[in-house]
Structure 1
Amino acid sequence: MGLSASLLLVSLLILPLAGDAAFRTPRSSVTWSSMAGNSEAMVLPLFFSHPNSTRRSTPSSPVIRSYRRDLQGKSSSAANAHMRLYDDLLTNGYYTTRLLIGTPPQEFALIVDSGSTVTYVPCSSCEQCGNHQDPRFQPDMSSTYEPVRCSIDCTCNPDNTQCTYERQYAEMSSSSGVLGEDIVSFGKESALAPQKAVFGCETSETGDLFNQHADGIMGLGRGRLSIMDQLVDKGVISDSFSLCYGGMDIGGGAMVLGGMPLPIDMVFSRSDPVRSPYYNIELREIQVSRKSLHLSPSVFDGKHGTILDSGTTFAYLPKEAFVAFKDAITRNLRLKQIPGPDPNYKDICFSGAGSDIPQLSKFFPDVVMIFGDGQKLPLSPENYLFRHSRVHGAYCLGVFQNGNDPTTLLGGIIVRNTLVTYDRHNQRIGFWKTNCSELWKRLNIDVAPYPAPSASNNGNALENLSPALSPSGLQNFNLPGQYKIGVITFDISLSVEYSDLEPHIKDFTELIARELQVDISQVHLTHFARTGNSTLIRCAISPSGSDFISSTAATRIISRLTEHRIQFPANFGNYSLVKWDIEPSKRSWWQEHLQGIVVGVAVAVVVVIFLSTLLTLYFWRSKPGAYRHVNAAFPEQELQPM
C-alpha cells in the first residue's frame, strides 16, 4: 500500500478459493523458457513530479556500459510502455503511475505497490470516497465494462449480483467495493496491446486512502487479483517485474512488467512464496561501518520474515534489531541530535550534515545487508535517512521499531536508487545499485526528461526553459534554487468556443488559481484567441508578497502544467497546454532585499526576546501530513481474496 505502511494489526480470516490459497505454491503452468520467447516486457518510466536537484547523471562505469550493451542486444523486440511515475517518498510517501481503464479510456493515478494484490479506483457510485487527483471511474461510460458476477468463489454484495473486495492497512485505512472487468492499458506509448483485467471499483474508503491525492492502488503482489498474476496467466508477460526508485534528491525511475536482462553483478536473495504470501527475502545480518550488529539470524525471520514492500515508505525492524541498528548508527556520529519534525513521533534526527546528498557518507556510516547465501547489498545514507522537513541540513532515521511485531518490513526508502527485480518464477529478488533517474539511458529508451539548466548558465539558462511542448505535453522539469522568477506565462487551449467561455472567465481564473495553488490575485488572463471551435488563452502568474516567484514555487507550477494535472469541469471542455515561458526577476539585489533589511533591523530586538518561545510553539503545533510512519507495519491483510 502506498501510504505509510502496507497492512494489518489484526490477523483476520483468509478465505481461500478454488485453486488459490493464501500461502501460494510456485506457479507450475508457466516456465521462464517458454514465456521469455513469446511474451513482451512492459517498460514503464517513473518520474518525480517535483525533482529538486539538477544532478541528473553519474559517471558510466564499465559495468554500466556492459549492461547497456546487453540491454540493447537482447531487448530490441521487447514492448515498451513509456509511463511516468509522479510524486515521491518525501512529499507523498508513495510513487504513482498512470493507468487507463475502459473504452474510451479513463485515466487514473495509482500507487505502485508490491504489497497489495488488488488494483482499485474510486467508483462513480462511491458514497464515501475522497477528492482525488482524477474523476472517478464511471462504469456506465465504458462500453467494455462488465461486473464480476457473484459465485461461490467470492463474497457477494447485498443483492448477491456482484463480487466484492475489502482491504485494510496498518495506518487503519481501508478500501472496499465491487469487482469489475474492463480493458486496461498502460498509455499511448505502450507496445503491449490493452488487456482485459479484473479490478476493484471502490464504494468506500477510510483513513489515509480517503485523504490521499492519488486515486487508488496498482496491486503487484501475489494473488489472483494482482495485475501481475493476471497478465502472466494470459501469457503476455513473463513472471517477473522490476522497480527502480529515484534517490533522495534526484527524480526519475522505472518500472518493468515482465522479464528483462539483468546486470551481471546484481545480488540476489531467495524469496519463498510458501513461507509468506508477501515478497520476502532471507536477511541474515546487518553491518554498520563494517561491523556486525551481532544478532541471531532468527531475529529477521519472525512471523512473516523479512518483507519487501514498495508501497511502504519506511523500514521497520523487530525491537532487538532496531535498538542495535539505532545504537550502531548514532554511536560515532559527531552531529547534533535535534527533535524530529512531528512531536507525535520520537524521530531520531541530526543537524549539521549539509544539503549535498553524495556528501552524507562523510557524516553517516555505510550499512550493508547480508542475505542467506552471503551476498551483500550496500546501503548509502539515503537508504536509511529522510530529510528533516523543518531544519535545513538535518536528517532523520527512516528505520523504526515495528511495535511488538517480529516481522521485518523494508519499504521504499531502503531501495532508493536500486533496481529491484522480483523474479517470481525463479523465486528470488535481485538488487542492483544504480542511478534510477538515468535508467532509461541504460535501457536504450529515448524518453530522457527535458534537460535542466546548469548552475553555471546564469540568466541565459532561463531562456532555454521555454520550449513549445511536444504532442504528448509531458515534461520533467526543475529549476536551480538560485533562480528568481518574475512572471510565468503559458498558453492553454480549451475545446469550447469563446462565446461559451466568456460568461465564466471569473470561474476559470479561480480554477487556475486553485489548481496551481496560487492566490487568485496572481492570475492574469492577458490574451484570448479563437481557433475554430476552441479558445486559446494566455495566462500569466505574477509574484505575490515578494517581488519574485521562488524556484520551488515555479517548479511546482510548471510541473502541474506540463504533467496535465489540472482538472477542469465539463463546461470548460478538454484542454491542452500549448507552451509555457518564464521571465526572470529584473530587480537588483538591493531592490529585492533593502526593505527586508530595514524591517529586519527594526524588529531585531523583539525577535531576539521571543525567538525561542515562538519557534518552540511553531514546531510543536505544526504537523506535516504525508511523510510519517506507523507504530507497527504489516503487509496487506487479505480479508477476501478472489
Structure 2
Amino acid sequence: IILFLASVSLGKIYVPVEESGFRLPELSDLKPLSQDFLFTLGNASSKLDNIQNMQYRGKVYLGTPPQEFKVIFDTGSSWLWVTSEDCEKCHDTKNSFSLQDSSSYVPLDLYKSLQYGTGFAEGVISLERAGLGDNPTVFAENQYFVLIQKDKDFENMKADGILGLGFKQLSEGKLPLVENLKRQGIIDQAVFSVFLSDNGFGDKDHTNPSSMVIIGGSDTETYGKNESTRYVTAFETTGYWSVRLSKIQIGQKEVVKASTIAIIDTGTSLLLGPSYEVKEIYSQIDKDFECQTSSGFLICSCGFFTSIDDFPLLNFTLENYSFSLTPRQYMLKQGSQCQLLLGSLGEQSIWILGDVFIRAYYTIFDMENSQIGFVGSINKDTTGNNNFNNGNAIIIIIGGVVFISLLGVLATKLINKYCNRRGENPVSYIHLQPTQSYQRL
C-alpha cells in the first residue's frame, strides 16, 4: 500500500488515495463492482487510485471530529450516503458512521429508500459537516446525506458508501456536495473534472500521472492533449450528465439507432447501449474478423494473423463533435483474444459512456453552465497490451450499484419529458428502473 500525503497549494487541495491490488473478475463473476476514487477541492487537483482500471475510491469526512470514509465518486447519482455503525444488515465496510461520536450530527424526520437495479439502501436523511481529502481543512456545513440503516446486494461494492456528483434533480432538490461547496464559498465554481489513468488493467503497478478528480476546476494542460476543449450541452433537468447522441459509427459504417441520449458516467466501467445497436456493432466487427459471443460479449481472435490495431475505430458523435475510440481503448487484449468492453442495456434506449470513454477523454463537468467539456486524454493508447493466464475473457463492470448508480423515477420522467417536448422518442427504462421514496419517521 502506498499513501500519498495531502497538501494545499494555491487554493488547491491535493487528496491522496491508496494503491492496492484487486482480482479481475471472470465471466462467471459478473456482478456490479464498486468504484474507487481520489479527488480534489477548490481550483484543485488530487491523485486518484487506479485499481486495475476497475475501481476508483476516495475519502470523505463526516462529523465533528471528522470520521473517515472511502466512497464511490459517481456522476450517475446525487445522494451522499454511508452506513451506520448500528446497521446489522449492511454490506461489509471498513468504516461506518457513529452518530454518538459527532457533536454536529442532525437527524431529520425523513426515512429515505434508494432502490437500485440489483439492491437497495435505506436510512435516515441527516445533516452533517462534510469534508474531502486526506487531511481536510475545509468542510461544507449542513450537508444532506443518508445514514444507511439497511442495504442489500452490495457485497461487491468495495466502499463505505457513495458520493453522488449528479444534479440536484436526483436528490429531490437537496444540494449535492459540489453545489453546497459552491454555495458556501468553499470552491469558486461548481465545476469538477475527471482524469482516469490507464494502468493496463493491472499490467502496470503505477501510472504517471495518477488518476485525478478536481473539484472546483480543471487542468487541461496537465491531463489533456494540446487541443481545444469541446463542450456539449448537459440536460440538467434530467438530473444526469446526459448529452445528445447524434451518431454512432463503427469504422465507416453508421449504426442504425433509435437512441438520442448518452450519459457520461464515472460509475460504469464499460460502454453500454441498447441491445439492437450493440448487436449491430458486434455484427459489423464479426463479419470482418474471427469472433464469437460469450455471455453476451464479443470476443475476437487477435493473435498471430490479426493485430488489435486491425480493428476499426468506434465513433460517437455528441451534438456536432466526433469522439473516436481506438480498438486499444475499447478492447481488452488477453493472449490471442480481444474482448470488446461494450455491453448491452437490453431494451433501454440510451447509451452509457463509462470509464472506457473517460479514460480516452479528460472530462470537465460544468454545473455552472450545464455543459460537459472533453479534451483528448494524455493516456497512451496501450489498453490492449494485456496478457492474462486464464483462458476466459475478462468482463469488467463497475457501477456505483449497477450500470448507473441511481436511475430514479423522477429522472426517468424528466428525460422522457425532455424528449417528448422535442418530439423525440422518450427514454425507455425497463429493467433497471429503481424507485425512491420518503417515509416520515
Pair in the same fold by TM > 0.5: yes
Aligned-pair CA distance for 1:128: 0.6
| Residue 310 (str. 1) matches residue 269 (str. 2) | no
Aligned-pair CA distance for 1:415: 1.5
Letter in 2 for 1:85: D
Aligned to 1:270: 233
SS of structure 2 residue aligned to 1:135: coil
Which of residues 389, 395, 407 is equivalent to 2:338? 395
Distance 1:130 1:189, change over 3 A: closer
Distance 1:88 1:142, change over 3 A: farther
Q: Render the CA deviation track for 1:585-614: whole Å, top value 9, x for unaligned.
A: xxxxxxxxxxxxxxxxxxxxxxxxxxxxxx
Aligned-pair CA distance for 1:51: 9.6
| Residue 255 (str. 1) matches residue 213 (str. 2) | yes
| Residue 216 (str. 1) matches residue 161 (str. 2) | yes
SS of structure 1 residue aligned to 2:64: coil
SS of structure 1 residue aligned to 2:236: coil
Q: Render the CA deviation track for 1:413-462: whole Å, top value 9, x for unaligned.
A: 2222421111122221111222359xxxxxxxxxxxxxxxxxxxxxxxxx
Aligned to 2:407: 637
Residue pair 1:82, 1:189 contacting (<8 A) in 2 also = no
Which of residues 239, 247, 250 is equivalent to 1:285? 247
Residue pair 2:303, 2:335 contacting (<8 A) in 1 also = no
Distance 1:422 1:47, change over 3 A: farther
Distance 1:410 1:626, change over 3 A: closer
| Residue 319 (str. 1) matches residue 275 (str. 2) | yes
Equivalenced residue count is 359
Aligned to 1:414: 357
Matched ranges for 1:96-107 at <5 A: 96-107=57-68
Q: Render the CA deviation track for 1:524-564: whole Å, top value 9, x for unaligned.
A: xxxxxxxxxxxxxxxxxxxxxxxxxxxx9xxxxxxxxxxxx
Aligned-pair CA distance for 1:40: 5.5
Return the structure number with greater helix share.
Answer: 1
SS of structure 1 residue aligned to 2:297: coil
- Unmatched runs of 5 consecutive residues or more in structure 2: 1-9, 24-40, 169-173, 222-226, 381-385, 409-435
Distance 1:265 1:392, change over 3 A: same
Which of residues 214, 232, 241 is equivalent to 2:182? 232
Distance 1:350 1:280, change over 3 A: same
Distance 1:400 1:424, change over 3 A: same
Aligned-pair CA distance for 1:403: 0.7
Aligned to 2:288: 332
- For 1:273 and 1:426, the matched residues in 2 are separated by 9
Aligned-pair CA distance for 1:337: 3.2
Q: After TM superposition, where is structure 1 displaced by more than 6 Å over at least 4 residues in a row?
A: 623-626
Q: Render the CA deviation track for 1:1-32: whole Å, top value 9, x for unaligned.
A: xxxxxxxxxxxxxxxxxxxxxxxxxxxxxxxx
Distance 1:80 1:269, change over 3 A: closer
Which of residues 368, 371, 377 is equivalent to 1:434? 377
Aligned-pair CA distance for 1:184: 1.9
Q: Render the CA deviation track for 1:472-531: whole Å, top value 9, x for unaligned.
A: xxxxxxxxx9xxxxxxxxxxxxxxxxxxxxxxxxxxxxxxxxxxxxxxxxxxxxxxxxxx
Matched ranges for 1:171-210 at <5 A: 172-188=118-134, 193-196=138-141, 197-207=143-153, 209-210=154-155
Which of residues 339, 343, 347 is equivalent to 2:297? 347
Aligned-pair CA distance for 1:637: 3.2
Aligned to 1:246: 197
- Radius of gyration: which is bigger? 1
Residue pair 2:267, 2:354 contacting (<8 A) in 1 also = yes
Residue pair 1:116, 1:636 contacting (<8 A) in 2 also = yes
What percentage of aligned pairs have identical amino acids? Answer: 20
| Residue 85 (str. 1) matches residue 49 (str. 2) | yes
Residue pair 1:221, 1:228 contacting (<8 A) in 2 also = no
Residue pair 1:254, 1:436 contacting (<8 A) in 2 also = no
Q: Render the CA deviation track for 1:142-164: whole Å, top value 9, x for unaligned.
A: 222222x22xxxxxxxxxxxx22
Aligned to 1:122: 83
- For 2:166 and 2:398, the matched residues in 1 are separated by 23
Aligned to 1:369: 316
Distance 1:433 1:110, change over 3 A: same
Letter in 2 for 1:306: A
Residue pair 1:382, 1:413 contacting (<8 A) in 2 also = no
Distance 1:393 1:138, change over 3 A: farther
Return the structure number with greater strand share.
Answer: 2
Aligned to 2:419: none
SS of structure 1 residue aligned to 2:284: helix
- For 1:433 and 1:98, the matched residues in 2 are separated by 27
Q: Render the CA deviation track for 1:33-77: whole Å, top value 9, x for unaligned.
A: xxxxxx96656567753499xxxxxxxxxxxxxxxxxxxxxxxx9
Matched ranges for 1:34-113 at <5 A: 44=15, 49-50=20-21, 80=44, 82-85=46-49, 87-90=51-54, 94-113=55-74
SS of structure 2 residue aligned to 1:413: helix
